[in-house]
Amino acid sequence: MKFDAYIQKSKENCANIHGLKPEEIPFLKVSLATEQLEARKRQFEPIRVIIQQFMKKILAYTSETPTLVVATDGEGYVLDIHGDKKINEIVEGLGITKGVRFAEKDVGTNSVSLALTYGEPVQLIGNDHYHHFFEEMACFSAPFSYGDAKGTISLMTTKEYASHFYLGLLSSAVDTIEREMKVQLQNERFHLMNQVLMGATPLGIVMTNQFGEIQEMNESAERITGLLESELKGKNIRVIPELEFLIWQVLEDKRKLENKEVIFLQSEKACLLDVTPLFDRLNQFIGVFAQFRDMQSYYDLQKRVIQSEKLSAIGKLGAGFAHEIRNPLTSIIGLTQLMDELPHEKQREYRQIILSELERMRHLVDQFVMLGKAQASQRKPENLEKLIQDTVCLMKSYARVHQVNLHYQTAISDPNVSIDASQIKQVLINFIKNAIEAQPDGGNVQISLHPDTTSMTVKIIDEGPGMSQQIVDQLGTPFISTKEDGLGMGLAISLDLIKAHDGTYTIHSKESGGTTVEFTLPV
């Protein structure tokens, strides 16, 4: 057996190198001062705690036999001792205490030194020991490793109780300890990563168990919600009313939600929320992970960009608007001058024409003034068909300047949709303006409204030169534009506004000519 070769080699070392005599009583030398021993113990935290638990279990399994269990480090220094009173006399005779070292040069052939030298479990029974003092003893040692740290767990009993079972017991204990330590190390790394990620991210994070009870909440979540984790941990998610409905939806459906807009009343912050269901390795549902991005700065910037776009549109529409006002004014002035010379019935007819022209002018002025106003975002049921009609009316003068004809058609008259009318009007203005400017030599723009049972779709089709698929794929990216002086912000904002209304959009274009933009809003 390989044990025999290890033992024979060690006994030769004891006689020829260390000069030990078999008949002498060996004694362990105390080598470590108290502070040195404590320093070595700290190197083995937290594995020492696990080893101590297993040492106590081993003693429990062998309670009917005289047993000593010892844990050493990789140099053979004793870090922990656990034993029963039956073996105390032998322990005291050898001087086995914490801080002493099992070294071959001091105590001859011993299982601790052999296990550390050869890196595998070793047993010494009776005459396997070098010194006669150990002829009635049986010693078993199994090495373990913990990162860069190494050591042994050893068991000593009397020869009459010797059994291969003890070596198997120690080997099994060491395997379990190493597995436990790997799990603990992995958990520590995950915990550290979790702390770093949870602490460093600007995203608010809230985690609940499968019952909706809050388990984790990071500092960003505290800042955004205006609430403290210490006050909410363990409580039901209903204590954060802004998240309650959406998180319970995922708890019940176990399906992910993305980009849901929430506004936290306490901090007055607008956020986009994602909620993801969590499953363990057995695919058992264990809770949800919610993260929310503070979008307030973005929304503030978006409002300023929208206002800037409106002012830019006012500037571009100004020339056509003046033309639209001048035409009815000319008619009104001419008719007024003729009124005194006409019979009474003809005057009444002219008065109706004048009132009609003045009403058209008032409507144009109202639309123009409303375009420049900054309005608070507010969704309510709106007549989408009328909103499109008003926008088309506003844009006709701009289209006429560019020699473009606007054509609008719809199959319904009262399509109410819950929208922010100001925002959707801005979307329409941007899309129609882009369609007009895509036709520098004049042409036509078709605008249509298509109802569905659950949605309304608006289509805007131009007759411009079209775009390649590569350019279409880049549309909506800020600072990407097909216009020489364009920044691409108008389209980017428009697409964001559609998504904010839970809508969808598509852009189709052919290089041979023509582009179709359509967007759909839920009813």
DSSP letters, 314-331, are HHHHHHHHHHHHHHHHHH
3-state secondary structure of 276: strand
Q: What average pLDDT does range 230-236 have in this prediction?
A: 91
Tell the residue number behind the tokens 């480090």, with chain if given. Answer: 73
Residue of higher predicted confidence among 108 and 56: 108
Q: pLDDT class for 479, splitting at 50, 70, 90?
A: very low
Q: Which of 249, 266, 294 is the last residue of a domain?
A: 294
366 or 33: which carries more pLDDT confidence?
33
The answer to whether residues 98 and 159 belong to one domain is yes
449-470 per-position pLDDT tens digit: 988 888 899 999 999 888 888 7
Q: What's the total number of domains in the chain?
A: 3
**279 and 371, same domain (yes or no):** no
Q: Which domain holds residue 232?
A: 201-294
Of the candidate ranges 235-244, 314-323, 334-343, the one whose mean pLDDT is the lowest? 314-323
Cα–Cα distance measured from residue 208 to residue 247, given in angstroms and rounded to the nearest whole number: 9
Q: What is the pLDDT of residue 288?
A: 93
The band of 337, judged by pLDDT with boundaries at 50, 70 and 90, is low
Closest by CA position to 70, among listed 86, 81, 84, 79: 81
Domain shared by 455 and 330, yes or no: yes
Q: At residue 108, what are phi and psi to the nearest 5 degrees?
A: 75, -155
For residue 289, give every residue at least 6 positions away whose Cβ sits within 8 Å of its Cβ, in sequence order, or none.
Answer: 205, 207, 275, 276, 278
From the number of C-beta atoms within 10 Å of its C-beta (0-12, 13-18, 19+), residue 60 rates as exposed
What per-residue confidence (pLDDT) applies to 375?
Answer: 47
Task: Indicate whether 319 and 345 sit together in one domain.
Answer: yes
Distances (CA, A) of 323 to 364, 390, 394, 396: 12, 18, 12, 11
pLDDT given for residue 373 in this prediction: 53
Q: Taking all residues of the chain, what is their mean pLDDT, rounded to a whole number?
A: 81
Q: Which pLDDT band holds residue 318 (cuts at 50, 70, 90)?
A: low
pLDDT of res. 61: 75
User: For residue 88, what are the contacts with CB-CB under 8 A and spacing of at least 6?
Assistant: none
468 and 492, same domain (yes or no): yes
Q: Residue 78 in contact with residue 71, Cβ under 8 Å?
A: yes
Q: Where are the beta strands (DSSP E) in 330-472?
A: 380-383, 404-410, 416-419, 443-451, 455-462
pLDDT in tens, 414-452: 778 889 887 888 789 889 988 998 888 899 999 999 888
- Among 108, 34, 110, 39, which residue's Cα sits nearest to residue 73? 39
Rounded Cα–Cα distance for residues 295 and 274 (Å): 13
Strand-strand pairing, 78-83 and 122-125? unpaired
Instruction: Answer yes or no: is pLDDT of 507 > 70.
Output: yes
Residue 74 lies in a domain: yes
**Rounded average pLDDT over 8-33:** 89
Residue 487, Cα to own-chain centre: how many angstroms? Answer: 31
Q: What percent of the chain has pLDDT over 70?
A: 79
Q: Is the pLDDT of residue 523 over 50?
A: yes
pLDDT tens for residues 211-228? 999 998 998 899 889 899
Confidence of residue 1 (pLDDT cuts 50, 70, 90): low
CATH of residue 149's domain is 3.30.450.40
Query: Which pLDDT score is estimated for 23?
Result: 92
Helix (H) or strand (E) holding 293: strand 285-294
Does residue 174 register a pLDDT over 60? yes
Query: Among all chains, which residue has been given the structure tokens 């042994």?
Result: 152
265 and 303 assigned to the same domain: no
Strands 68-73 and 380-383: unpaired
Q: Answer whether residue 187 is part of any domain.
A: yes
Model pLDDT, residue 353: 67
Measured between alpha carbons, how far is 44 from 469 in angstroms, rounded to an integer? 63
The answer to the question of residue 431 being in a domain is yes
Q: Which of 243-247, 300-304, 436-440 has the lowest mean pLDDT?
A: 300-304
Which of 127, 149, 153 shows the shortest CA–CA distance to 138? 127
Asked if 143 and 121 count as a contact pair (C-beta separation under 8 A), the reply is: yes
> Could you tell me if 415 and 424 are in contact, meaning their C-beta atoms sit under 8 angstroms apart?
no
One-character DSSP codes across 45-59: TTHHHHHHHHHHHHH
Q: Which two tokens stand for residue 191?
A: 């915990």
CATH number, domain with residue 224? 3.30.450.20
pLDDT band, residue 147 (cuts 50/70/90): confident
Residue-level pLDDT at 196 = 63
Between β-strands 380-383 and 285-294, what pairing exists: parallel, antiparallel or unpaired? unpaired
| Whether the Cβ atoms of residue 159 and residue 126 lie closer than 8 Å to each other | yes
Higher-pLDDT residue of 287 and 395 is: 287
* 19 and 104 housed in the same domain: yes
**Are 240 and 140 within one domain?**
no
Range from 40-54, 90-104, 336-350, 384-398 carrying the lowest mean pLDDT: 336-350
Q: Domain boundary residue among 139, 158, 191?
A: 191
- CA dist 479 and 486 (Å) reads 7
Task: Note whether 374 and 494 are same-domain residues.
Answer: yes
| Residue 459: predicted pLDDT | 94
SS3 label, residue 298: helix
Secondary element (H or E) of residue 60: helix 47-61
Structure tokens belonging to residue 302? 């978006």
d(CA 508, CA 514) in angstroms, rounded, equals 9
- Is 234 inside any structural domain? yes
Range in 10-14, 114-118, 287-291, 341-345 with the lowest mean pLDDT: 341-345
The reported pLDDT for the residue numbered 274 is: 93
Give a yes or no: residue 327 inside a domain: yes
Q: Residue range 53-66: average pLDDT? A: 78
Where does a domain end: 294, 321, 355?
294
pLDDT confidence of 248, banded at 50, 70, 90? very high
- How confident is residue 302, by pLDDT bands cut at 50, 70 and 90? low
Quick check: 204 and 174 in contact, CB under 8 A? no
Closest CA to 109 of 84, 144, 141, 69: 141
Q: Would 345 be classed as within a structural domain?
A: yes
Q: How confident is the model at residue 369 (pLDDT cuts 50, 70, 90)?
A: low
Count of beta carbons in the 10 Å neighbourhood of residue 102: 26
Going by the DSSP 8-state scheme, the letter that residue 511 receives in this structure is T
Cα separation, 359 vs 373, in Å, equals 21
CATH of the domain at 492: 3.30.565.10
Rounded Cα distance, 163 and 140, in Å: 10
Q: Is the dihedral of CA 352, 355, 359, 364 positive or negative?
A: positive
What whole-number distance in Å separates Cα of residue 267 and Cα of residue 225? Answer: 6
Distance from chain centroid for Cα 62: 51
Residue type, 497: L
Of 127-141, 362-376, 500-514, the range with the highest mean pLDDT is 127-141
Q: In angstroms, rounded to a whole number, what is the distance separating the alpha carbons of residues 387 and 110?
A: 94
pLDDT of the residue at 500: 82
Q: Provide the pLDDT for residue 487.
A: 45
Specify if 196 maps to a domain: no
The pLDDT value recorded for residue 91 is: 72
For residues 335 and 420, membership in a common domain is answered with yes
State the CB neighbour count (10 A cutoff) for residue 158.
16
Q: Are residues 270 and 315 in the same domain?
A: no
The residues, any chain, with a CB within 8 Å of residue 159's CB and separated by 6 or more, are 125, 126, 135, 136, 137, 138
Average of pLDDT values for 251-257?
93
Does 473 map to a domain?
yes
> How far is CA 478 from each of CA 269, 491, 504, rounded to the nearest angstrom?
24, 8, 19
Q: Do 21 and 170 reside in the same domain of the chain?
A: yes
Token pair, residue 426, equals 């801005």
